[in-house]
Structure 1
Amino acid sequence: MTIPHPDGRTAAPDETVSLPADALCSACDAKQFEWSTTVELEPLDQVIGQDRAVEAVRFGIEIQRLGFNVFAHGPAGSGKSTTVGHVLDVAARHRPVPDDWCYVSNFDSPHQPIALRLPPGGGARLRDALGQAVEGLLVALPTLFESDAYAVRRDALADDFQARSQANFERLRAAAAERQIGVIQGDDGISIAPLDGDEIMRPEAFQALEPARRTAIEARLAETQSDLEAAARAEQAIQREAEAATAALEQAAARVEVDARLSTVRTAFEDAPDVVRFLEAVGKDVLDRLDLFRRPEAEAPASDDEAANGGGAPVRGDLMAVARVRWRTDPRLRRYKVNVLIDHGGATAAPVIVERYPTLASLVGRIEHEQRFGALVTDFTLIKPGALHRANGGFLVIEADELFKQPRSWDALKRAVRHGEIRFEAQQDESSPMTTIMLDPAPIPLACKVVLIGNSDLYFSLYALDADFPELFKVGAEFAASMPRTRQNVDLYARMIATIGMREDLLPFHRTAVARIIEHAARLAEDAQRLSTYFLDVADLVREADFWSRQSAGAHVERRHVERAIDARVERADLARDRVLESYARRIVLVDVSGEAVGQVNGLSVMTRGNFSFGVPMRITARVRMGAGEVVDIAREVELGGPVHSKGVLTLAGFLAGRYLPDDDLAVAASLTFEQSYTAVDGDSASSAELYALLSALSGVPLRQSLAVTGSMNQTGEVQAIGGVNEKIEGYFDVCQQHGLTGDQGVLIPAANAQHLMLRHDVVAAVRAGQFHVYPVRQVDAGIALLTGLPAGARDRRGRFPAGSVNRLVEDRLARFARRQRRRPDGA
């Protein structure tokens, strides 16, 4: 297209003219909207601008194959968490509610609790049903053991064994009596001694006997001692039989009650074989531990005298209340409890768990301990779930940055995902002097999709450096920083603004306010043809505009309120910019915006403070003399220049070598620097400006100081696009406005950056009034012509630049350097 010359005439084909004001900011026409305020719009029910990422997330969560977990990455504020949450919530509603998981006692191996899987809500039902059964047994079994019927059977059994014990003793006594040996039964046991008639012989009488008689008595004593030991063994056997018989009696009496109580629970879970086996183990363990179900002495029935005085045993209601207290507080009864680790009773969809603090314990769960007698003890009821347990059967979302801040969490997550199971991992403090009793619970199978959210640098670093990462997170969902500025996307943006307003009860937005937000979104995207997907910033602007509208008692948000919100943002953040502008005004930092100078040009850089960026003009100077073809970057020499900036300087040197004196060596020594720059310099956006300063120094032609330059270049002299073009133009404009706009001032930018322009309205107004200019430059020849007022010049048929052109003056100077270099003696 033909760009009109500012004075109205048609520009020559090789002439660079300033851009018209309308090309400096792609305004959003509010008249395109057929509605007046956002109240008339339908709320948005989709994620906008991230179609590629949304499809990637959907693919990752739908494909049911190992390792197809998702890493959502992209710029901060691009809506990764919101988008992922929306997609997962929709998917979760179409998935079944996962099963419950419980831990119960392993009576054969207590340190290895058993994991039970039950249908949703089944864990709580099992816990409550078994609890009621045990509470019932805590009432029924003591009542049974204290009943008259049971006492008769127990006493009869005791009498029988007592009779056997007495008979055993009588046999011992009779055999001893035949040997004239007495059997003495005392508190400290049974002893034997010789008889003297019917009395026990005194020791002194025994010692006074004749030796032969003493020997005979001692022999009888030895025989009786053998009988005594045999009788003791027989008594022990009788006692063991009595204990076994008593236990058998108790178990036989209790079995009916235990089976009756547990059969109800078994019937309710007959379709769960693991539960049935557990209940059978519970019944067996109860019968083996009936002492746990005896009534404590404090709860024993009153005596007859107490009953006569109004005491008496508690009524059944009181017994049940006492049983419930014991069930809750007696640690010995924990073995019959059900630890419902995950309860999905009442859930209507698969879980979506967002873990914001992914420590090892919060991921894989933890096993708590209690201090008892100097040791830390635990049991299966102290097992607590982690995020993986809660997300099992659904989705787990973790911020990757937070994950990698926690020791051992990443490795634990990889193990769980790789092996498809959740294992509790010990977190014992080895520095603690206490002995810790540990558990090894059965692992729980894992079937959930893990979605990590982070920045792209982290994603690509993990992909390159962690061999497990590509295997376990096969789906990368990359979020874009911007989206095309199409009419459809503009309409979606408007609906997004309306949705934020409806959700947060904001004032309606007039269509002019929406249009201004669209323009702001294009500015954020640094592209007039695209819209930013940095929705966090856009949403905040919507809220701030609502605030300013309410401050002015507005009925709806208008364009002026959005402008006020944007201006207020700048005002809150631009202290550093004000100080920089002050340094220019006071000539602390030297930058000229008028006049001419040889080897000196105004370059442009961008300074960022938090979320606020602004352009900063900087003087670039060049000095030349005869030398060995070296271009010295002073910033690089003092280690202030970054690699990209150094690349730009080397590219500049390559351009010089390729354009001038193609058949001779360049005999020049040049130095380039950013004046009054005391921090690191990187980037190649000043390489064209550095070239202009160097060409001016070589040719002796002064450069217009009213113009500033930005743009990188390649070795053929093409000017290439750079970043921050809006901030750079506005930064130079602010300095010029501070000194007074003359109509000669402006900025040279790469022509490729013209499509990125979304300049402030005051800059556009100044351009429209002819007080400021923005020049799109494609080749460095056009740039040097603008800066010097002389033609750059192109080689003619004889390979020579035209007389009086900048290129001719440069080549002539280089030729003189070369001749002088050749005339000098070797080594001089």
Structure 2
Amino acid sequence: MSKRKPAAHPVPLSPEALYRVCDPALFDFATTADLPDEADEPGPALGQDRAVEAIRFAIGMRHRGFNLFALGEEGTGRRNLILGHLREAAAARPPSDDWGYVENFAEAARPRALRLPAGRARALERDMAHLVEELGHALPAAFEAEEYRARRQMVETEAKQQREEAFSAIQQDAEAHGIALIRTPMGLGLAPSKGDEVLPPDEFKQLPDEVQTRLRAEMERLQERLESTIKQVPRWERDTRTRLRELEREAVGHAIAHLMDDLKGDWADLPEVLAYLDEVAGDVALNAQDFLPEADDAERREGRPRGPDGRFRKYRVNVLVCREGETGAPVVMETYPTQPNIIGRVEHIAQYGTLITDFNLIKAGSLHRANGGYLVLDALKLLMHPFAWEDLKRALRDREIRIESPGQAMGLISTLSLEPQPIPLDVKVVLVGDPMLYYLLSHNDPEFSELFKVSADFDWRMDRSEANTVLLARSVAGLARKEGLRPLERGAVARIVEQASREVGDSSRLSTHMASLADLVREADYWAGEDGAAHVSAAHVARAVAASVRRLDRVRDNVQEEMLAGTVHINTEGEAVGQINGLAVLELGRFSFGRPTRVTARVRFGKGDVVDIEREVQLGGPIHGKGVMILSSYLASRYATELPMALSATLVFEQSYGGIEGDSASSTELYALLSALADLPIRQNLAVTGSIDQFGRIQAIGGVNEKIEGFFDLCRARGLDGSHGVLIPAANVRHLMLREDVVEAARAGLFSVYPVETVDQGMTLLTGVPAGERDADGKFPTGSINRRVAARLGAFMRRAEDLALPRPPVGMGRNGNGG
């Protein structure tokens, strides 16, 4: 069994260890104005080498599914960095195609998508508008032409002559047999005649029977001939209409031939456009009457829309996306990613109480605008809008944009709508979100990992190396020049570097949260302006930091006032058994501060239970409960290895009325418990933080700067006398970036920060009594803390043995008679 190393008495940290200063001599400029122009560009990729590699890989990988998810904290420059790389890549690519929708003359409810070279969609739109205008002049003129009118009159005359000849032949035949062809309200009829007069029925009955019989036979024959001729009249009229339509088509063909030929000549390189123009020509030929003035009169009478918004809408081109004037592939950032804004929509207009639509009311979505390029979306906003995420995945999976409203997809809308032809999709999508959202999607959505195979993980901190420090300084200089701020002195830049370490709570790291650092530069410029200074100095940066805290520290001041007034009991002098000052951190938005809290412990004879009152009343979280169980394990394994502990102890955070989470107070609770067991008072001018493991080692915690400063503020308000201080885990020394007033107090010997590695070191410092190590016989030294704890627990165990019931003799039953 290895022998434990004796606990060394902790020594206060030097003032230099409490704050890592950035030497202004590191910079080779007096002010940022001295930097050359090529260094003025801000460095949004500062400390993001891993993310930059992922972005470049995603951009270069053209295979399916290699879309990008950029995860990281807001303010790390994710969007600017991504957009910069996307625009750089897009500039090296040719412009994407134009897209539009045109009428499907075969099925109007399924508009046709038309792909056009970049910048030519508007030209086709103008050409079609011009064509309709010219047709409005050419077709009426063609129908007014003498040749057309003569040929039409000839066809109509021939048709009329054909009918007249047929009925004239019947009439002549009838007259030759003494029968008249008469016109009645019921149509044509036959009757016996006498000269030019129709024979009355009375006179007809007076005729000889053989004459009557002959006349009836002739009338029956003529009636059959008349009916046969009448039946042929609709066919003759249909033939006439066919000849007139052919005549119209011929006239229309001659009238528009030169117009269509000129138009086709302009679009001869695009077969799809030529096919569409042929369909237009065919539809114009079928509906040439729509271009005549009579059609306008009909529209006026019926109250229908006229002109380009009326019957000629079907000849328009709905330009969905036009790349006119663009020089590279599109880069689109959709700030409001609803389902219609992403995949497009079909709008409706109200007319006579009815909602109607056509292909002209199809509107583009961001996928249409980004097609052939890049689309950037905020992942959280995307997921918050119904159907947007599912329709985006469908578009990426099927590699086509299918416009369909949610109600239409679910069968909830009965209004007549359209089914536009899907548009092929070739786009690289970039989602921007926080890490938790990325991990949730990866775990819960099987399609996510197939569609977004690349992740760019943005770090919120970077090493505080000399190279990174210089890069941060140049980034600050670039921001100042870009926004027209005052030049910063190198001392001011050094102070910003120090604040960047403070932001991440680590003296060996720098923050990459460029948004907060940029705000600091802007605020420092403001205070320089208030002073009328030409340059921003370190004092202005310090003032900006203090002012930003001042705007948010009302609650912190109120908490301290309660402590100073005695409403909240926190002792900073004297000694007490089983009582110790712990340290907690409260977070209010982006502002956090330390708050001292009193932890107490009471012990008594019992069954070996260490009761955490916070957990019993459900104010303690699972991690806090874990810390209490670890200290219980440490206590039992060190002082009760052979017999169970006959101890009952209670631990509580006094005057705590909210939830408690985290294990950073586990060492604090253990110190209070050991003090109660050893009956040794703890110095109240010290505060403690740190978690423990089962071997009594003190482990690192978070928020160490805020915790130290919280206790320092209380002690300073009551008066520092050189005895006050804080015990922190030795592993947290690298994280120290304390306020200037704390460092100055330490330099003056008024406040101390002690790095502690073990529980024994902490107890020695807190009580002034050596903790003590076991000797070769496993005994602790007389008078040591551990000896007193072991003796107290031993007394509890002996009492438990004294109170135990006597065991029955071997072979005897419980009644003592062997039965």
Q: Note if 1:36 corresponds to 2:30.
A: yes
Larger mean Cα displacement after TM superposition, 535-544 or 755-764: 535-544
Within a 5 Å distance, the mapping from 1:153-552 to structure 2 comes to: 153-178=151-176, 180-185=178-183, 189-201=187-199, 221-296=219-294, 328-329=308-309, 331-428=310-407, 436-552=415-531
Counterpart of 1:582 in structure 2 is: 561
2:41·2:479 contact (CA, 8 Å) conserved in 1?
no
Kindly tell me: are residues 162 and 698 of structure 1, through their superposed partners in 2, closer, same or farther at Cα, counting changes over 3 Å?
same
Please say if 1:554 is aligned against 2:533. Answer: yes
Q: Which residue is 2:9 aligned to?
A: 15
State the Cα distance separating 1:217 from its structure 2 match: 6.1
For 2:776 and 2:209, the matched residues in 1 are separated by 155
The letter for the 2-side match of 1:255 is G
Amino acid at match of 2:541: V
Shift of 1:229: 2.8
What is the CA–CA distance in structure 2 between the aligned matches of 1:209 and 1:791, rounded to whole Å? 159
The one-letter amino acid paired with 2:668 is: A
* Corresponding residue for residue 129 of structure 1: 127
Q: How does 1:60-75 map to 2 (within 5 A)?
A: 60-75=58-73
Query: Are 1:679 and 2:658 an aligned pair?
Result: yes
1:771 — aligned with what?
A: 750
Residue 757 of structure 1, aligned match among 730, 736, 739: 736
Deviation string 1:157-177 (CA, Å, 9 cap, x unpaired) is 222222112212213333443
Q: 1:132-191: CA deviations, max 9, x gaps?
A: 223212211111111223222222222222211221221333344345443344787545
Deviates more, 1:225-234 or 1:55-64: 225-234
Query: Which residue of structure 2 aligns with residue 9 of structure 1?
Result: none
Summarize the Cα distance change of 1:676–1:233 in structure 2 as closer, same or farther, 3 Å threshold.
Answer: same
**CA contact 1:376–1:435 (8 Å) conserved in 2:** no
**384-393 or 209-218, larger mean C-alpha shift:** 209-218
1:181–1:224 contact (8 Å) kept in structure 2: no
**Is contact 2:91-2:328 (8 Å) kept?**
yes
1:222, CA displacement in angstroms?
4.7
Deviates more, 1:285-294 or 1:452-461: 285-294
| Structure 1, unaligned runs of 5 or more | 1-11, 301-324
Query: Any conservation in 1 of the 2:633–2:694 contact (CA below 8 Å)?
Result: yes
Q: CA deviation at 1:435?
A: 5.2
Q: Secondary structure at the match of 1:763?
A: helix
Q: Is the 8 A contact 2:605 2:796 kept in 1?
A: yes
* Alignment correspondent of 2:629: 650
CA distance in 1, matches of 2:351, 2:213: 60
Paired position in structure 2 for 1:795:
774
1:85 match: 83
CA change 1:230–1:23 in 2 (3 A) is: same
Counterparts of 1:804 and 1:692, CA distance in 2: 17
Tell me, in whole angstroms, the C-alpha distance in 2 between the residues paired with 1:298 and 1:116.
30
Separation in 2, partners of 1:781, 1:298: 101
Deviation at 1:205, TM superposition (A): 6.9
Partner of 2:692: 713
Q: SS of the residue aligned with 2:181?
A: strand
Does 385-394 or 251-260 show the bigger shift? 251-260
Deviation at 1:550, TM superposition (A): 1.3
State the alpha-carbon separation in 1 of the partners of residues 205 and 761 from structure 2.
142
CA contact (8 A) 1:72 1:478 kept: yes
Residues 543-589 of structure 1: CA deviation (Å, up to 9, x unaligned): 11111111222212111211121111111111101110110011111
Contact 1:168 1:235 in 2 (8 A): no
The range that moved more, 35-44 or 523-532, is 35-44
Q: Report what 1:5 is aligned to.
A: none
Query: How much does 1:253 deviate?
Result: 1.9
Code of the residue aligned with 1:662 in structure 2: it is T
Aligned mates of 1:590, 1:603 — CA distance in 2? 12
Give the superposed CA RMSD: 2.4
CA contact (8 A) 1:652 1:714 kept: yes
Structure 1 stretch displaced more, 144-153 or 53-62: 144-153
Unaligned runs of 5+ in 2: 1-5, 299-304, 808-819
* Higher alpha-carbon deviation: 172-181 or 631-640: 172-181
Q: Per the alignment, do residues 622 and 107 of structure 1 end up closer, same or farther by CA in structure 2, a change over 3 Å counting?
A: same
Name the CA distance, whole Å, in 1 between partners of 2:401 and 2:204.
Answer: 80
**CA 1:611–1:187 in 2, change beyond 3 Å: closer, same or farther?**
farther
Residue 572 of structure 1 corresponds to: 551
> In structure 2, do the counterparts of structure 1 residues 726 and 186 end up closer, same or farther at CA, with 3 Å as the change threshold?
farther
Secondary structure at the residue paired with 2:268? Answer: coil
2:800 alignment counterpart:
821
SS at match of 1:614: strand
CA–CA distance in structure 2, aligned partners of residues 604 and 477 of structure 1: 37
TM-score by length of 1: 0.92
**Is the Cα contact below 8 Å between 2:599 and 2:651 reproduced in 1?**
yes
Give the Å deviation of 1:218. 6.1
The letter for the 1-side match of 2:327 is: T
Closer/same/farther in 2, CA of residues 707 and 205 from structure 1, 3 Å limit: farther
Shift of 1:192: 4.5
Cα offset for 1:492?
Answer: 1.3
Look up the match of 1:27. 21
Deviation digits for residues 92-123 of structure 1, max 9, x if unmatched?
11122111111111111111111111110121
| Paired residues of 1:104 and 1:116 also in contact (CA < 8 A) | yes
Aligned to 2:301: none
The structural deviation recorded for 1:83 is 1.6
The percent of aligned pairs where both chains have the same amino acid is 46
Cα distance per residue 1:307-330 (max 9 Å; x no partner): xxxxxxxxxxxxxxxxxx96533x
Aligned residues: 792
Deviations 1:74-104 (A, max 9, x none): 1122221122111211111112211111111
Please, which moves more after superposition, 133-142 or 427-436?
427-436
1:38-61 Cα distance to aligned partner (Å, 9 max, x none): 112221254211111111111112
Alpha carbons of structure 1 residues 210 and 53: separation in structure 2 relative to 1, 3 Å = farther
Check conservation: 1:712, 1:722, Cα contact below 8 A: yes
Distance 1:186 1:794, change over 3 A: farther
Q: Distance in 1 between matches of 2:64 and 2:295?
A: 59
**Greater alpha carbon shift after TM alignment, 459-468 vs 33-42:** 33-42
**Residues in 1 aligned to 2:464 and 2:504: alpha-carbon distance in whole angstroms:** 10
Q: For 1:214-257, what per-residue CA distance to the aligned partner results, in whole angstroms no more than 9, with x for missing partners?
A: 88766655544433332222221221111111111111122133
Q: Structure 2: how far apart are the matches of 1:651 and 1:516?
A: 41
Q: Work out the CA distance in 2 between the residues paired with 1:70 and 1:298.
A: 55
Aligned-residue offset at 1:35: 0.6
SS at match of 1:417: helix
What residue identity is the alignment partner of 2:18?
A: L
Deviations 1:467-504 (A, max 9, x none): 11111111111111101111111111112112222222
